[in-house]
Amino acid sequence: MATVMTAPPSTRAEIVDVPFAYREIVARLSPGGRYIDAQSDDDSPWVPFGDKAAIKHLAFDVRQGIFSNILWIKEPGVIGTHLHRGTIMMVCLEGSVKYLEYDWVASPGGLILEVPGESHTLVTDHPNGVKLFGWMQGPIEFYDENATLVETADVWWFINHYETYCNANGIPLNPKLYI
């Protein structure tokens, strides 16, 4: 009778040579794992996103239309109404945030899940604003107060946002961000 694992084996801190038939193909074609330092500006600077916000870009995957970043709203403020065309997962790192369309407030450690086809208006009332780590897939459509489409932001928009800022400020582009 087979046993059921209740926790991963963790008796020794050592590298184990795991057999894998496609190791050479992975080594040749995979971009590989990497570490991005989100605490400092060494790997990615804070790029202004309007007057009261900034974005620290962490990853761009053009094959799947995925991008990851930390959104920092620096004081009480709003990121206007937007509609997601893909799935969004965010973790509140600091401060707090809510959507006007819902009755909850996210606090540090809280997970926010957004599904395609929903629109909402992100607001922080916290005196220090909010920092949100996000892993996002697909375009985000931003609308004005009259429900007129203003901009569609997808992985290409976010790459341009990062690269334009870096190029204008003499900051080298970080190849580790492109997966």
- pLDDT score recorded for residue 44: 97
Q: Which residue type does 53 have? A: A
Mean confidence (pLDDT) of the chain: 95
Are 61 and 30 within 8 A, CB to CB? no
Q: Any idea what the CATH number is for the domain that residue 157 is in?
A: 2.60.120.10
Query: What are the percentages of helix, strand and coil residues in the chain, rounded to 5?
Result: 15, 40, 50
CA distance 13 to 16: 9
The band of 144, judged by pLDDT with boundaries at 50, 70 and 90, is very high
Q: Report how many domains make up the chain.
A: 1
Q: Give the global pTM.
A: 0.91
pLDDT at 8: 86
Q: What is the pLDDT of residue 1?
A: 60
- 122/37 Cα distance (integer angstroms): 26
Does residue 168 belong to any structural domain of this protein? yes
Report yes or no on 147 lying in a domain.
Answer: yes
Kindly state whether residue 99 falls inside one of the protein's structural domains: yes
User: Looking at the domain assignment, is residue 61 inside a domain?
Assistant: yes
User: Residue 15: pLDDT above 70?
Assistant: yes
